Amino acid sequence: MGLFELARRVGEKRLDDLARTHARQPDRVDTGLPLGACIGGMIELVLADFALLEGSLLRVPKTAQMPIVAVSRLHIDADEDLSIFRMYTDIGADRDGQGSFLQVMTGKDRPQDIRDIAYYQFLYREYPVSAEEQDAFLGNGYGLGQDHYGMDRDELTQIPHVFAGAGRIDALLAGEDALGYERDAPGGSYIRPWTGRERRLDDGVGEKGVEKTHSFMQYVRRLPAGPTQQSGAVERLWIDFEKVESMDGRSAPAVWVDYLAGLSIDPQHLKVF
């Protein structure tokens, strides 16, 4: 390395240090969330709420306290003012959303007016490749939006933590052919799925994140009552046709169908700090 090259590199390094010092950092954009949540905060759940579930697809979270690694807001096409926020405690190994999150619905422009809280866990993912396969999720009069959904053995085997447990599937099915869910919405035998857009922030300033559209419907089923319960809890099944548009500011087209299980959370059993 010549003297000139050495001087050039030292100069570059000094200039980089100076530029790093003077570089302006944008303001945080993960603000205005309900419960005072932000990236880097913590969510504390009562694990007993999960441990006491009978025949649920949900796992008991590993720890009661989980860090918030990402936040997002769902903008529902039918009502832009409907405030649905998500606080992700896990976004998957490749930040592809195969994780878990706390979803909070609040009143319009009133983050403290909490209407619904639920904790969702990713179950499995399917990739509808052909147009015919995708049509079933896009509000064409059949498929997603029909008033019942049955999850059979083949689908249960795609859920890693269910498939791993010996005899777990048989226990879940309890002699039935499938787990039966009913649509979590009134209406006739079919209604169009809900559609919306989600912007997920994976850091506080919004440099990293994901933007995708959703076509989704929620189904519910009542779990068997536990030994100390009069009636079982209601398990949610969120079936979501997702189209990823961009990731980290760059185009990243992808389409898949996610199946997530959820459980309603009592606000008294939740802490966000």
Partner 1 sequence: MKTIRFQIAAALAAVALAGSFVAPVAFAKGSGFSSSHSSFSSSSSHSYSSGSSSSSYHSSSSSSTVSRSSGFSSSGSSKSIPTTALGSSLYAAQSSRDAAATLNTSQSSRNGGGSGSSVGGSYGGTPSYGATRYSSPAPVYSAPSYSAPAPQTVIVHQSSGINSFLFGWLLGHDSSPRETVVVPQPAAPMAPSSNDSGYQNSQPGSPPVSAMAGGSDDASGVQAQSDHLPSAAAVPQATHEQPHPFLTVLKWIVGIGIAGVLVTLLHRAWAARKARFTAQTNYRL
Gap between the terminal Cα atoms of the chain: 53
- Given phi > 0 = left and psi -120 to 50 = alpha, else beta, which region is 37? beta
Task: To the nearest 10°, report the CA torsion of 227, 231, 232, 236.
Answer: -170
Interface residue with partner 1 among 68, 201, 244, 260 (CB under 8 A) is: 201
Question: Which tokens sit at 40?
Answer: 């880097």
Sole window of 46-54, 55-63, 92-100, 205-213 interacting with partner 1 (rule: CB under 8 A): 205-213
Based on CB atoms, which residue is closest to partner 1, 94 or 154?
Answer: 154
Contact call for residue 186 and partner 1 (CB under 8 A): yes
Instruction: Work out whether 145 is an interface residue with partner 1 (CB under 8 A).
Output: yes
User: Of 194, 174, 198, 173, nearest to 183 (Cα)?
Assistant: 194
- DSSP designation for 146: B
Asked if 25 is part of the footprint of partner 1 (rule: CB under 8 A), the reply reads: yes
Report the nearest approach of partner 1 to the CB of residue 123 (Å).
14
37-66 residues near partner 1, rule: CB under 8 A = none
CB of 25 to partner 1, least distance (A): 6
Number of residues counted as binding partner 1 (CB under 8 A): 86
Q: In the bound complex, what is the minimum distance in angstroms from residue 62's beta carbon to partner 1?
A: 26
Of 64 and 153, nearer to partner 1 (C-beta) is 153
Tell me which stretch binds partner 1 (CB under 8 A): 47-55, 57-65, 128-136, 159-167.
Answer: 128-136
Question: Which tokens is 63 given?
Answer: 């720890």
Residue (44 or 203) nearer to partner 1, CB:
203
Taking alpha carbons only, the member of 170, 179, 166 closest to residue 219 is: 179
Closer CB to partner 1, residue 63 or residue 127? 127
Contact status: 69 vs partner 1 (CB under 8 A): no
Q: Which residues are within 8 A (CB) of 143 and not within 5 positions of it... i.e. 6 or more apart?
A: 135, 136, 137
Cα 190–Cα 53–Cα 222 angle in degrees, nearest 5: 25
Output 65 or 142, the one with its CB closest to partner 1.
Answer: 142
* Maximum CA extent, the chain: 82
Please, what is the Cα angle at 245 between 140 and 121, to 5 degrees?
Answer: 75
User: By CB under 8 A, is residue 160 in contact with partner 1?
Assistant: no
In the complex with partner 1, which residue's Cβ is closer, 65 or 254?
Answer: 254
